[in-house]
A and B are shown apart, each in its own frame.
Chain A
Amino acid sequence: IQLTQSPSSLSASVGDRVTITCRASQGISSYLAWYQQKPGKAPKLLIYAASTLQSGVPSRFSGSGSGTDFTVTISSLQPEDFATYYCQQLNSYPLTFGQGTKVEIK
């Protein structure tokens, strides 16, 4: 199953609302997770089951979607949110990740 994220990168300002899209090549129900990765660090789980916020993750992050189309939204971008974001499908093996979306400071 291929996952295509868009955009591949974006520039935004603190306080902006940011939305990243992940499209699956076939239906994956809600078996999708979102991760945040900062340079030199391991990925951090943000959202699982497409829309469930991982414990400890700020409520400005939200996820939605099912089937083939998914989004993660940051309602008000904070300085610590500048990072690369990956979606992952866990519907079937081999598990796959999207190519990543880099969120940069405008």
Chain B
Amino acid sequence: EVQLVESGGGLVQPGGSLRLSCAASGFTFSTYSMNWVRQAPGKGLEWVSYISSSSSTIYYAASVKGRFTISRDNAKNSLYLQMNSLRDEDTAVYYCAREGREGYNWNYSFDNWGQGSLVTVSS
């Protein structure tokens, strides 16, 4: 069974930093691209960042570019999101999400999501 478990969320002051982790199990993590998606309280979904299986390709949303860094450790089956210079508007539940596949090819979806980790930015 595919499992994605986020951790590392919490309360942080504006301007502070936080590192989220996503522990993956039940699949060959090193062969899948991964994403972070966030959801502010009572709001919709916002894609945050993408990392390819080998970390060779990375993308960010404009709202976090230059402040957030996505990374992964395939030996530890883990995905990370380093968040710096946090702002009030970064308050959200952060989900890690796996790319969907048909065979070896991306099927243009996110087929498995973690339960989310709440990040609250407030003084």
Residue on A nearest B95 in the bound complex, by CB: A42
Q: Taking A48-B109, A94-B59, A94-B61 as contacts, is the C-beta distance between A42 and B115 under 8 angstroms?
A: yes
Interface residues of B in 11-69 (CB under 8 A from A): 35, 37, 44-47, 50, 59-62
Q: Which residues of B contact A48 (CB under 8 A)?
A: 100, 107-109, 111
* List of B residues within 8 angstroms of A52 by Cβ: 107
Given pairs A86-B44, A94-B62, 11 additional interface contacts (CB within 8 A): A31-B108, A32-B108, A33-B110, A35-B110, A41-B115, A42-B116, A93-B59, A94-B60, A94-B61, A97-B44, A97-B45
**Chain B contact residues: over half helix, strand or loop, or mixed?**
strand
Please provide the chain A residues from 78 to 106 with a CB less than 8 Å away from any CB of chain B in the complex: 86, 88, 90, 93-100
20 contacts between A and B (CB under 8 A): A33-B100, A33-B109, A42-B95, A42-B116, A43-B37, A43-B113, A44-B113, A45-B109, A48-B100, A48-B109, A49-B109, A52-B107, A54-B100, A88-B109, A90-B109, A94-B62, A95-B47, A95-B50, A97-B45, A100-B44
Query: Which chain B residue has the least Cβ–Cβ distance from A100?
Result: B44
Are the C-beta atoms of A93 and B109 separated by less than 8 Å?
no
Residues of B within 8 A of A98 (CB): 44
Min CB distance B101 to A, Å, is: 10
Q: How far is the CB of B63 from chain A (nearest CB, A)?
A: 9
* Contact residues on A (Cβ < 8 Å of other chain), bracket: 20 to 34
Query: Which bucket holds chain B's interface residue count?
Result: 20 to 34
Nearest-CB distance from B2 to chain A (Å)?
Answer: 12
- CA–CA, A67 to B19, complex, Å? 38
Contact A99–B44 (Cβ < 8 Å): yes
When A93-B59, A94-B61, A94-B62 are in contact, do A45 and B47 touch as well, CB less than 8 Å?
Answer: no
In angstroms, Cα B109 to Cα A97, docked, is 12
Q: Which residues of B contact A35 (CB under 8 A)?
A: 45, 110
Task: Give Cα A97 to B47, complex, Å.
Answer: 8
Distance in angstroms between the alpha carbons of A52 and B109 in the assembled complex: 11
Chain B residues lying within 8 Å of A97, measured Cβ to Cβ, are 44-47
Of B45, B62, B111, which one neighbours A45 at CB under 8 angstroms? B111
